[in-house]
Amino acid sequence: MLKSKLTNTFTEILPGDPNLENSRRQVLEAVYSFVNPIQTSNPSLLHVSKEMQEELDFSDNDIRSKEFLDFVTGNVVFPNSKPYAMCYGGHQFGNWAGQLGDGRAINLGEINHWAVQLKGAGSTPYSRSADGLAVLRSSIREYLCSEAMHHLGVPTTRALSLSLTGDEVLRDMLYDGNSAYEKGAIVSRVSPSFLRFGNYEIFAARNDIKNLKTLVDYTLKTHFPELGKPSKDTYISFFQEVTNRTLDMIIHWQRVGFVHGVMNTDNMSILGLTIDYGPYGWLEGFDFGWTPNTTDRQHKRYRYGNQPNIGLWNLYQLANALYPLIEDAKPLETILESYKTNFETKSQNMMRLKLGLAKELDSDIDLIMALEHNLHASETDMTIFFRKLSEFQKEHPEDGIQLIQDAFYVPSEIKDTILSQWNQWFLDYATRLKDEDTSYDQRREQMNKVNPKYVLRNYMAQMAIDKADSGDYTLIDELYQLLKKPYEEQPNSAQWFAKRPEWARHKVGCSMLSCSS
């Protein structure tokens, strides 16, 4: 089965590390190091993404086989697989961190032009002081979220499977000195490529221009062939394309209220895909200042409202890395400046779609800013608010505040000035809708295509984790099935269209999370 599927174009074309010893070290003049996954004691398959199963041409009989289980847990290295870990660097929280690399991700090869990677399959030369393993807690979050994001229409890496290793892994979940053993797990991740900004930064930082050019040329030929043969002009076009994709990805994040949590340059896909699902979260109460990452609690560098700015900052670092191949700063600066203008335009257009506005009027910016002010002032659930707003009727603006009552976390606070501001906003919104040519049904249909009813709230993921820790894995599949159709009503699942429960407001895993996994 698998013997005929796997190819290894990445390792066949790009320069590798000649040192085959799996020891922590600085790896020079290489894009990757060969390394094998560790053996697990008693692996078991918990879930398989049906869509990715079909994309990779695995039959139902295939996924029930021991061969498949061995493949997605790394227990057997097949003859035509050459597992490897990638070398890359990165800026972490604004500071250059030097060599990082795949510390707990091992790539198995490609199937149908999809790179297949195991997260949590053991240490690599890039693991530094870590063990290269992953726990069930973080693996459930990554598995469910990557597939959920795809169905939301957000560019993302994907997941093929979720497995238990049968081994226990020691983790200090809150970095407070209280380590405990947790169930070990492996996610089989898939993507057209797992290349990150940091893959290019590491060569530029080391002044290894030869291998920088080799990697960029490979990237062009493999993933951007439409841009033409490698040249200075093509490198500029490449940077423009990466900039466009990165901005589009972040606009989608803002649209659905997703906060990545760790937008380091080593977590930025060169293809503009959401990659590395660590301490992410969805907005509950609308708040530009919210971050799900405990490590970022003080400075909030990666807060929701700052994601577009960080995307630009990261692109500056990529531009610096590519500069030696172009040797002309002006075209790169022009592209970076255009990011700012394009963000303003695309962000406003995104908000118009969320509000059901087809026409573009200059006054829309005032309506949008007033709305964001009200959402901030009253702890309003973002997902519920925009979904319920589709039911608003311009003929009855006085009913607006009642329509969105379920979105308020503390309804008793909606009084006096805040109530007056909301009522005024609904009057203004009703007036604005009179400029539209669409009917109520048309507007509602359009709004419900961009405003999801269901997202993977942290408390939902934590409930699945808590059940899984006790041996009940049914909620993993329930949430997986729910999130395949996030824009549909799904009346039998309406219990998930609800505000975060009060018990989850400060519960570990439901509010902020650490990078520990």
Q: What is the pLDDT of residue 174?
A: 65
pLDDT level of residue 51 (50, 70, 90 thresholds): very high
Q: How far is Cα 83 from Cα 70, in angstroms, rounded to an integer? A: 14
pLDDT level of residue 178 (50, 70, 90 thresholds): confident
140 and 45 in one domain? yes
338 and 379 in one domain? no
Q: Is 354 in contact with 451 (CB distance < 8 Å)?
A: yes
Query: Does residue 443 form part of some domain?
Result: no
Q: How far is Cα 268 from Cα 246, in angstroms, rounded to an integer? A: 8
Q: Is 3 helix (H, G, I), strand (E, B) or coil?
A: helix
Please name which of 401, 242, 386 lies closest in space to residue 322, comparing C-alpha atoms.
Answer: 242
Q: What is the pLDDT of residue 509?
A: 82
Q: How far is Cα 481 from Cα 48, in angstroms, rounded to an integer? A: 12
Please name which of 91, 86, 119, 122 lies closest in space to residue 11, comparing C-alpha atoms.
Answer: 86
Q: Please, which residues have CB within 8 angstroms of residue 291's CB and are 6 or more apart in sequence?
A: 259, 261, 297, 300, 301, 302, 303, 304, 512
Give the H or E element holding residue 423: helix 416-433
Q: What is the pLDDT of residue 499?
A: 95
Q: What is the pLDDT of residue 516?
A: 52
Q: How far is Cα 139 from Cα 473, in angstroms, rounded to an integer? A: 13
Tell me the average pLDDT across 322-348. 97
- Look at the pTM and tell me if it is higher than 0.95: yes
b/e code 9-32 from CB counts within 10 Å (16+ = b): ebbeebebbeeeebeeeebeebbb
pLDDT level of residue 56 (50, 70, 90 thresholds): very high
pLDDT level of residue 79 (50, 70, 90 thresholds): confident
pLDDT level of residue 190 (50, 70, 90 thresholds): very high
Percent of the chain with pLDDT over 70: 98
> pLDDT per residue over 445-464, tens digit each?
999 999 999 999 999 999 99
- Is 70 exceeded by the pLDDT of residue 175? no
Catalytic machinery residues: 266
182 and 209 in one domain? no
Q: What is the pLDDT of residue 301?
A: 97
pLDDT level of residue 515 (50, 70, 90 thresholds): low
DSSP structural state of residue 40: P
154 and 139 in one domain? yes
- Is 60 exceeded by the pLDDT of residue 164? yes
Q: What is the pLDDT of residue 506?
A: 84
Tell me the average pLDDT across 232-258. 98
Query: Does residue 442 form part of some domain?
Result: no
- Is 80 exceeded by the pLDDT of residue 44? yes
240 and 320 in one domain? yes
- Is 70 exceeded by the pLDDT of residue 417? yes
> pLDDT per residue over 270-314, tens digit each?
999 999 999 999 999 999 999 999 899 899 999 999 999 999 999
149 and 18 in one domain? yes
* Strand extents, DSSP E, 350-419: none
157 and 73 in one domain? yes
> pLDDT per residue over 346-386, tens digit each?
999 999 999 999 999 999 999 999 999 999 999 999 999 99
Which structural domain range is residue 421 located in? 358-437
> pLDDT per residue over 389-403, tens digit each?
999 999 999 999 999
pLDDT level of residue 34 (50, 70, 90 thresholds): very high
Query: Does residue 449 form part of some domain?
Result: no
| Residue that finishes a domain, picked among 322, 353, 384 | 353
Q: How far is Cα 294 from Cα 306, in angstroms, rounded to an integer? A: 16
- Mean pLDDT, rounded, of the chain: 95
Query: Does residue 309 form part of some domain?
Result: yes
Q: How far is Cα 158 from Cα 114, in angstroms, rounded to an integer? A: 10
Q: Is 3 in contact with 125 (CB distance < 8 Å)?
A: no
Tell me the average pLDDT across 218-235. 98
Q: Is 353 in contact with 438 (CB distance < 8 Å)?
A: no
Sign of the CA dihedral running 46, 455, 350, 450: positive
144 and 202 in one domain? no
304 and 266 in one domain? yes
